[in-house]
Amino acid sequence: MMQPFEHAVTEHGPTVLRVVRAVLGPGPDADDAWSETFLAALRAWPDLPEDTNVQAWLVRVAHRKAIDVTRGTARRAVPTDLVPDRPSTTGLPESAEPDLWAAVGALPERQRLSLAYHYLGGLRHTETAELIGGTPEAVRRAAADGIRALRRTYAPEGAPR
C-alpha cells in the first residue's frame, strides 16, 4: 500500500527544498517552487504506481517547477522606482536613421515588402513569395530593385553607389 501523502511531505520535503534552492537560490521563489511541487504531487498522488521511487519522482517534479518559476520570472515586469525621462526608442527604427526609413517607406509596396520580409524578417524568398504572392524569382528581383533604389537615394556622400 502507498504511504500517506503527509508522510512523503515530511520525509522528502527537505530534499525537495534543497533541489529548488539549488536551482533558484534561497528566497521566496524557492519556497513557491516547493509549494507548487507538493501541490502537483498531491494531485497526482492517487494515480501514482505503488512501485514508484517517490523521492526521485518528487525531485523531478521539483526541478520542473523550478524551471517554471525561472521562466515566469523572465516574463514578468520588474518594478522600479525610477521612471525614464523620455520615451523609449527601442523598436522604432525611425529614431536611429530617419532618412533611411523614409526612403524604405517611399519604395513601391512590392519592393518594400520583399525587403522587409527577407532582410529584416529573415524569410527566404520562397516564403516571402507565399506571403505577398508571385514567384520566388519575382520576389528576389523586387528585393534587389529595392536595395538598388536605396543605394541610389540613401548612400552617404562620397560613397560608391
Number of domains into which the chain is organized: 2
What is the reported pLDDT for 96?
A: 58
In a domain, 68, yes or no: yes
Q: Which residues of the chain fall below pLDDT 70?
A: 1, 84, 87-98, 155-161
Judgement on whether residues 107 and 140 belong to the same structural domain of the protein: yes
Q: What is the CATH number of the domain that holds 135?
A: 1.10.10.10
State the number of CA atoms in the 13 A half-sphere of 149 facing the CB.
Answer: 18
- The three three-digit cell numbers of residue 104, written as one number: 524604405
- Of 22, 41, 75, the domain-final residue: 75
What is the reported pLDDT for 145?
A: 95
**Going by C-beta distance under 8 Å and a sequence separation of 6 or more, which residues neighbour residue 129?**
135, 136, 138, 139
**Residue 122: which domain range?**
93-154
Judgement on whether residues 31 and 67 belong to the same structural domain of the protein: yes
**Going by C-beta distance under 8 Å and a sequence separation of 6 or more, which residues neighbour residue 106?**
153
